[in-house]
């Protein structure tokens, strides 16, 4: 189908990009200027800003509690923004929608950004928060069952990398990984994936913009050949948590996400790959007010609470083993 008419109208109204090098400070300020005031945001039972103490330092988080229940499963969310943009504020509406639709407590992570913080600072922050949630989750109201990681765009990179890093460390509490149009291959050779050419121009994020937008991260020491930087380059995907990979029809990075989903399936990982027609990159952040794309939160809910009794038994067994190990 063609690009969604609301997305096409939005893109047609955008000003031409400024010439010259990207200015992270100015771009962050512009993003923050579009954040809705608190009284216009989706109401939840509780929203609280906290600090999580980790080996790499104090990490700000925002905790979203959907209802009055004493305990919940937890979803740890990593915002997108090409590793140098985005914040707890710019993605507040995404975290609220996730909490509302899934019924999980959402912990949104304000990780350190490039270029001020060199690789792997942001990844370390994300991983450390997940570990702390598992270790001290009772104080957050975690019920000891679901512990999912999720992210959009570069946040999806971090979600995949955190899941892999946890597996390698023998930390098996992560139950799901949810990747919204993830950036999984930071080698931007335009011949690597057909979508880099098919969706190169006219759909918001353009292929020519991938290198300059990710340069702050790569120049800080992130090597595209490293599977923690480009998760699609990981050779062995066996044993990773079940995955939901969401892509957009007109996203230049569509094919790398779908390839990762296929490889996960081939490795025996329960994986759902879902392409949203008419959508480009960033549709969860920018266009989830449209019913067609708000459905992504409902799909996430269904993925996190499957009818498969084997999956429920596996989560219960993980929780039991963790309790016995305390």
DSSP secondary structure letter of residue 143:
E
Closest CA to 99 of 274, 297, 320, 288: 297
Decide if 83 contacts 217 (C-beta within 8 A): yes
Decide if 41 contacts 317 (C-beta within 8 A): no
Decide if 256 contacts 185 (C-beta within 8 A): yes
| Tokens matching residue 131 | 């570990």
Rounded Cα distance, 237 and 82, in Å: 24
The active-site residue, picked from 125, 152, 251, 255, is 251
Cα dihedral across residues 108, 112, 118, 121: positive or negative? negative
For residue 79, indicate whether it is catalytic.
no
In the chain, the largest separation of any two C-alpha atoms, in whole Å, equals 59
The active-site residue, picked from 152, 195, 281, 288, is 281
Helix then strand then coil, in percent of the chain rounded to 5, is 40, 20, 40
Q: DSSP secondary structure string, 94-161?
A: HHHHHHHHH--EEEEE----TTTS-TTHHHHHHHHHHHHHHHHHHHHTEEEEEEEEEEETHHHHHHHH
The active-site residue, picked from 153, 154, 220, 288, is 153
Closest CA to 177 of 88, 270, 112: 270
Cα dihedral across residues 28, 99, 288, 176: positive or negative? positive
For residue 154, indicate whether it is catalytic.
no
For residue 251, indicate whether it is catalytic.
yes
Host H or E run for residue 273? strand 271-276
Q: Which residues are catalytic?
A: 153, 251, 281
């Amino acid at each position: 189908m063609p690009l969604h008419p609301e997305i096409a109208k939005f893109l047609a109204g955008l000003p031409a990009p400024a010439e010259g090098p990207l200015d992270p400070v100015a771009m962050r300020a512009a993003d923050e200027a579009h954040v809705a005031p608190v009284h216009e945001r989706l109401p939840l039972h509780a929203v609280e800003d906290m600090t999580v103490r980790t080996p790499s330092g104090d990490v700000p988080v925002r905790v979203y509690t959907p209802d009055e229940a004493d305990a919940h499963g937890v979803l740890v969310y990593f915002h997108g923004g090409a590793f140098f943009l985005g914040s707890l504020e710019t993605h507040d509406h995404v975290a609220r929608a996730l909490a509302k639709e899934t019924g999980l407590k959402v912990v949104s992570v304000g990780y350190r950004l490039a270029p001020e913080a060199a690789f792997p600072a942001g990844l370390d922050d994300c991983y450390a928060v997940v570990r702390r949630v598992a270790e001290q989750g009772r104080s957050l109201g975690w019920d000891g069952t679901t512990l999912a990681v999720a992210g959009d765009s570069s946040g999806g990179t971090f979600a995949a990398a955190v899941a892999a890093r946890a597996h390698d460390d023998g930390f098996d509490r992560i139950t799901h990984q949810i990747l919204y149009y993830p950036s999984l291959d930071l080698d931007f050779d335009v011949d690597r994936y057909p979508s880099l050419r098919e969706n190169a121009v006219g759909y918001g994020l353009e292929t020519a913009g991938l290198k300059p937008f990710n340069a702050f991260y790569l120049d800080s020491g992130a090597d595209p050949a490293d599977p923690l930087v480009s998760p699609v380059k990981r050779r062995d995907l066996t044993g990773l948590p079940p995955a939901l990979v969401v892509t957009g029809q007109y996203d230049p990075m569509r094919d790398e996400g779908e390839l990762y989903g296929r490889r996960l399936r081939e490795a025996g990982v329960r994986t759902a790959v879902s392409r949203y027609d008419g959508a480009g990159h960033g549709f969860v952040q920018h266009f989830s007010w449209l019913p067609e794309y708000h459905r992504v939160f409902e799909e996430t809910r269904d993925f996190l609470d499957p009818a498969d009794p084997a999956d429920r038994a596996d989560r219960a067994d993980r929780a039991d083993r963790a309790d016995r190990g305390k």
